[in-house]
Amino acid sequence: MREKTRGARLAAAAGAIAVAMAAFAAPAPAEAAPSGAGSQRSAARQSEGGRPAALRRAAEQCGAGEICFWRDRDFAGVPWRWMPSNGYRDMPANLHDHVYSFYANAPGCFIDWDPLERRGVNSGDYAKAYDTNFGRRIDAVAPNC
Ligand SMILES: [Ca+2]
């Protein structure tokens, strides 16, 4: 598994969903997180503005070297994960023309076949409301444009 320590710490701050995810990936107790930024600011701010908690949840769920795709906005639910080593992949049916948020920990290329357009993505890129952009068009992902 990857990033167990980081996962456990962030889960403490990210709320029930992240806790469940972390429990899946790493059985370390969430309460074991040191009293750092996580416990101080608590996860209660999830609904206001959305930025810190939603982004933290995305970062928590999306591993190093992955691009993660969510059907819904704000990185809600379980993402579909892709890595450059997977090569070209058509989006799964539920994500075809329907990636409403994504988080990239790897470079890649989003593709719409008709009309043909390719969008380069860099590690660190993300969108929490991608339906206002290419998320309504994406058909596939590839390592390079
Ligand atoms: Ca399309």
CA of 97 relative to ligand 1 center, distance in Å: 5
Per-residue CA distances from 127 to 27, 38, 67, 100, 140 (Å): 30, 23, 12, 8, 17
What pLDDT digit, counting tens, does each position of 80-110 carry? 999 999 999 999 999 999 999 999 999 999 9
Q: Which domains does the chain have, with CATH numbers?
A: 1-61 (no CATH), 66-145 (2.60.20.10)
Q: The tokens of 33 are what?
A: 């997180």
Burial 68-79 (b: 16+ CB within 10 A, else e): bbbbebbbbeeb
pTM score: 0.66
Can you spell out the DSSP letters for the chain? ---HHHHHHHHHHH-HHHHHHHHHH--S-GGGS-SSHHHHH-SGGGGTTSHHHHHHHHHHHS-TT-EEEESSGGG-SPPEEE-GGG-SEEPPGGGTT---EEEESS-EEEEEETTEEEEEE-TT-EES-GGGTGGGT--EEES--
- pLDDT for residue 51: 60
pLDDT of residue 52: 77
Check whether 113 has a pLDDT greater than 80. yes
Q: In angstroms, what is the span from residue 139 Cα to ligand 1's centroid?
A: 5
pLDDT value, residue 6: 47
Confidence at residue 25, expressed as pLDDT on a 0 to 100 scale:
42
Q: Name the nearest CA neighbour of 46 among 71, 72, 90, 13.
A: 13
**pLDDT value at position 76?**
94
By the CB criterion, residues less than 5 angstroms from ion ligand 1 are 97, 112, 137, 139
Residue 12 CA to ligand 1 centre (angstroms):
38
**Of the listed ranges 5-9, 98-102, 105-109, 132-136, the one predicted with least confidence:** 5-9
Residue 71 has a pLDDT of 98
Residue 39 has a pLDDT of: 38
| Distance between Cα 71 and ligand 1 center (Å) | 14
pLDDT by residue (tens digit) across 13-70? Answer: 444 433 334 434 444 444 333 443 443 444 444 444 556 788 988 988 999 999 999 9
Q: Mean pLDDT, the chain, as a whole number?
A: 77
